[in-house]
Amino acid sequence: MFDKRTLLIGSLVLVAVASRLLPHPPNFTALGAVALFGGASLTGRRWAYGLPLLAMLLSDLVIGFHGWAPVVYGAMMVYVWLGRRAGSSSTRVIGASLLGSVAFFVITNLACWWSMYDHSAVGLTACFAAAIPFFGFTLAGDLVFSGVLFGAMAMAEKLSPSRFAPSLSLGC
């Protein structure tokens, strides 16, 4: 069936995804970190990209969909792509978290600008300026939850290397 590492990853992802349903500051969620973690930890592309999409879909069924959902889902795929390149090095995870937050900010705010603001430099500037507070929460959430997810995995691997050896093969 599943090995201990797979069960741990699944449990961490479920706990992190559940955090989206609890009260939180805007954009301070675990989803970016879950996508990074899945990208770095799951060898199968289908699982790595599918887990954050499934998490978004399930949580959106509870909290509701919005017009930019496809853009947000696409931005989550950037996190997975970054996670697949970052691996589990703490420096690279921090860098991927920062890049993921910036990419999410740019992608989602370009969509917002295009649909809600004047298509000019003034409109673009106004859109991005209005979104700055959300960026801070996105960045904080990505860094905090990435630290929790990657840190918990590193601790599990250190405490019980034979059970949590990095040989995860949810390959598809």
Task: Write the DSSP assignment of the chain as a string of letters.
Answer: ---HHHHHHHHHHHHHHHTTTS--STT--SHHHHHHHHHHH---HHHHHHHHHHHHHHHHHHH---TTHHHHHHHHHHHHHHHHHHTT-HHHHHHHHHHHHHHHHHHHHHHHHHHHS-SSHHHHHHHHHHHHHHHHHHHHHHHHHHHHHHHHHHHHHHH-TTTS-S------
Domain definitions of the chain by residue range: 4-158
Question: What are the structure tokens assigned to 10, written together?
Answer: 């699944």
CATH code for the structural domain at 4-158: 1.10.1760
pLDDT in tens, 55-108: 888 889 998 888 889 999 999 999 999 999 998 889 999 999 999 999 999 999
Specify the pTM: 0.86
pLDDT in tens, 106-138: 999 999 999 999 999 999 999 999 999 999 999
pLDDT in tens, 15-58: 777 888 889 999 999 999 999 998 998 877 888 898 888 888 88
